[in-house]
Structure 1
Amino acid sequence: MAGRPVIEYYFSFISLWSYIGSRSLQALAKQHNAQIIYKPIDLMQLFSVSGGLPVKQRSVQRQAYRLLEMERWRRLRDIPIVQHPKYYPADPSLAHRVLLAAIDEFGHDHGPVHEFTRRSLQTVWADESDIADPATIVAVADASGLEGSRLLERARDEKELAIQEDALTEEVVARNYFGLPMYVYRNEPFWGQDRLEMLDEVIRSGREPIRVD
């Protein structure tokens, strides 16, 4: 009998498209009883080695079309979005480490871990709060059912958590992935939240992963 589906999920709390797909990913995982392996990474570092550009360094044409796509997907996913968040791009590393500390204690399947991930993305892209602010991180963690202050202390004090975030960033680069969100199922990558339907199809059908040499 086939085992439980496992979805590796590379993302960042400041990734717009990770936010847009966040609810749909969790719904897909629930539908298939799949496990999501959360892998927060340094998006700006990924950009620097893969040819990507931060939003404000892109051409005016690409910036304009991005706003159009934001509005389309806001309607399709039925979610709130602030087009120009006040605190974007904030440094999400401390919040990423809080997430990693929570995973270390409770595992990826823990309900509050799912909720903290979703709420942290929402904090940037809908609530327009500062995900780099320790007080904000604690409030989001507490609202998610986690012990925010204690996890924040771990995130600040334990170098292993920073090393882990760096290692995940190195991992995504080593696998030749270049953007977020990146969903990986049985080593087949799906780049972008608009590939969630393709991810759903491969899990549903049970087909063999596509390999391209």
Structure 2
Amino acid sequence: MSDDRPRIDYYFSFISLWSYVGGLTFQDLVRRTGAEVTFKPIDLLAVFAAGGGKPVKERPTQRQAYRLVEMKRWREIRGVPLTLHPKFYPADPSLGHRVLLAALRENRDVSAFAHAGLKAVWADELDIADPATLVRLADDSGLPGAELLRRAHDDPTLAAEEGALTEEAIARQLFGAPFYFFRDEPFWGQDRLDLLERAITERPAPVPFTPVA
């Protein structure tokens, strides 16, 4: 692997709406740029809480209404199926995150599974917390679903790893998902993918990110 291959830290959660909406577009960007992606599944509700954010149903009604407008708008722009009120949202994504982390420990390609987990919630109305659903999604993505599920249940270090990634996200001042980092420069939201690609292909000086004290 070349030392100058672009590397992206990708923070997401299976219950992140905008991680799903931009998921295929992000995959296209990765293919075009040859980037290496470090997948970092996080506890999104904990990140919200640390950054002063609120779960969807606790937000002001005005924001909830506008969110639906944006969902319809971006569903058309991205050309993806999208359910406005998914049946199993917000299910607990932790078991699915641990399945993904178990696959990463075996150096497996998790790109297809990552998108399948997002699509399960936001288009297919599947329960991402259901073990049988996770096995099927993993198998369909070319992964050994039953074995990875067993490890996700039995290996406590996977839960610790998810927790550490969440703490890392909070320390890096994240407040939502998806968040992409390239050369330590943050890009929040799937609607910043054009800016991320520009940063990779044109290599302007990174915009400094200085947390407010």
Q: Same fold (TM over 0.5)?
A: yes
Residue 150, structure 1, aligned to residue 150, structure 2: no
Runs of 4+ in 1 over 2 A off after TM superposition: none
Which SS does the other structure have where 2:181 is aligned?
Answer: strand
Q: Which residue identity does 1:176 align to in structure 2?
A: Q
Offset at residue 212 of structure 1 (A): 4.1
**Does 2:207 align with 1:210?**
yes
Matches within 5 A, 1:16-55: 16-55=17-56
Q: What is the CA distance between 1:48 and its match in structure 2?
A: 1.1
**In the alignment, residue 133 of structure 1 is paired with which amino acid?**
D
Whether 2:178 is the aligned partner of 1:178: answer: no
User: Which residue number corresponds to residue 195 of structure 2?
Assistant: 198
Two-structure CA RMSD over aligned residues (Å): 1.0
Offset at 1:183?
A: 0.4
Distance in 1 separating the partners of 2:70 and 2:49: 24
Q: How many Å separate the matches in 2 of 1:48 and 1:69?
A: 23
Q: Deviations over 1:154-208 (max 9, x none)?
A: 0000001000000000000011111110000000000000000100111110112
3-state SS in 2 of match to 1:169: helix
* Equivalence for 1:138: 135
Tell me, in whole angstroms, the C-alpha distance in 1 between the residues paired with 2:91 and 2:43.
12
> 1:122 is matched with which residue?
119
* Aligned mates of 1:120, 1:177 — CA distance in 2: 22
For residue 169 of structure 1, the aligned residue among 142, 166, 171 is 166
Q: How many angstroms apart in 1 are the aligned matches of 2:88 and 2:147?
A: 25
Amino acid in structure 2 at the alignment position of 1:163: A
Q: Which residue of 1 aligns with 2:157?
A: 160
Q: CA deviation at 1:120?
A: 0.5
* Equivalent residue number for residue 75 of structure 2: 74
Distance 1:189 1:106 in 2: 25
Segments of 5+ residues of structure 2 without an aligned counterpart are none
What is the aligned-residue identity percentage?
A: 56
Cα pair distance change 1:130/1:212, threshold 3 Å: closer
SS at match of 1:189: strand
Per-residue CA distance 1:84-140 (angstroms, 9 max, x = gap): 000000000000000000000024xx2xx1100010000000000000000000010
The 1:92/1:212 distance shift into structure 2, 3 A limit, reads closer
Distance 1:48 1:73 in 2: 26
Does the 8 Å contact 2:185/2:209 carry over to 1? no
